[in-house]
Amino acid sequence: MRLRRIVLRRVEMPLRFRFRTSFGETTVKQFLLVEADGGDSSGWGECVADDAPLYSEETNASAAHALGEFLVPAVLGRTFEGPEEFARLVAPIRGNRMAKAALETALWDLAARENGVPLRDLLGGVRDRVPVGVSLGLQPSLDALRDLVAKHVEEGYRRIKLKIEPGRDVALVSAVRERFPSIDLTVDANAAYTRAETPALRALDPFRLDYLEQPLGHEDLWEHAALAREIATPICLDESIRSEADARVAARIGAARVVNIKVGRVGGLAEARRIHDTCAAAGIPVWCGGMLESGVGRAANIHLATLPNFAKPGDTSSASRYFEEDIVDPPLEAQNGEMPVPPGPGIGVTVVRERLDRYTVAQEEFSA
């Protein structure tokens, strides 16, 4: 596998609705898309950074800078035995995990396409379908929230996740649980709480949540371990797990009973697989989180979620929930709460360049 050319695009795709979390509202998905051209085939990767450094310290601007100035020059024109070599080549470049993941995923996709196999096969996946749930942003009213939950339960999704924040937590969960007493229900705080608000988090215990996702700050592994001893609801870590080393520490100190793996947050598919393996050895189930990805990032997530320890439904719901038009074919649509794994080579979907061009607002090309 030899990289002849890399194209970096800035893409803007309007969402079908306002997606609100404790970080704020999103109405347009703005992201970077990486195309790694090997000559006969291209591999694709999506950067999940935002324009503002809220979920992560990375932004689209910082990722574009890291890719153009450091990451692309480290790999362009090189011949690879496989995408696992990427980590060694960019090891001197600290951080910038989302930028690294975008380019590394493109290399995995390219390698799988050149070998004529689905990405799942290179990663060691074991399924041809993965269970999926939905992630629901903060809604304007309890009635609106209940109606939205009802819609997705009827569609067959395997798990409903509610975004919460201080002051908007127990009432939301109570309203949903009262109407839907038996659904698989979780909540995500996006690091919005502190230990001082433990009573509010403990008040969620009676609602039989499968887990409480990332209640405290992203650097508070020790605090999560202490909180886990004070509440009954299992804690799931998201922002706190940025590497296999983080996962190993979290398991050792009891900071998490579930882990959300996001490819961009951890720096790529190879690191995601290492975290999966470490959690499996510790008896901690994992699931694949989402970042409002287009079909490129969504397809890669689906392939990752075929690994055996992805034991809980992920966030990779139907693309049509988010976008009127995606940039890939075939459409990535859930069926009865499961997402079929795209069966073709690589990530299994084709980027429709005519559509991509409509949503591309800037482009930069690098040639060997």
From residue 48, alpha-carbon distances to 1, 171, 298 in Å are: 25, 31, 11
Q: Check if 151 is active-site.
A: no
Q: Which residues contact 131 (CB under 8 A, 6 or more apart)?
A: 158, 159, 312, 313, 314, 337, 338, 339
**Phi and psi for 336 in degrees, rounded to 5?**
55, 45
Q: Check if 163 is active-site.
A: yes
First to last CA, the chain: 14
From residue 71, alpha-carbon distances to 10, 58, 132, 157, 228 in Å are: 17, 15, 33, 38, 38
Catalytic residue among 100, 161, 163, 312: 163
From residue 58, alpha-carbon distances to 52, 54, 260, 321 in Å are: 8, 8, 19, 26
What is the residue whose two structure tokens read 């009954």? 232
By DSSP bridging, strand 129-131 and strand 42-47 are: unpaired
Angle between helices 269-282 and 97-115 (to 10 degrees): 100
Tell me which amino acid residue 267 is: G
What is the residue whose two structure tokens read 């700050």? 217
**Phi and psi for 8 in degrees, rounded to 5?**
-115, 120
CB atoms within 10 A of CB 281: 11
- Rounded to the nearest angstrom, the gap between the alpha carbon of residue 312 and the centroid of all alpha carbons in its chain is 14
Q: What are the residue numbers of the active site?
A: 163, 262
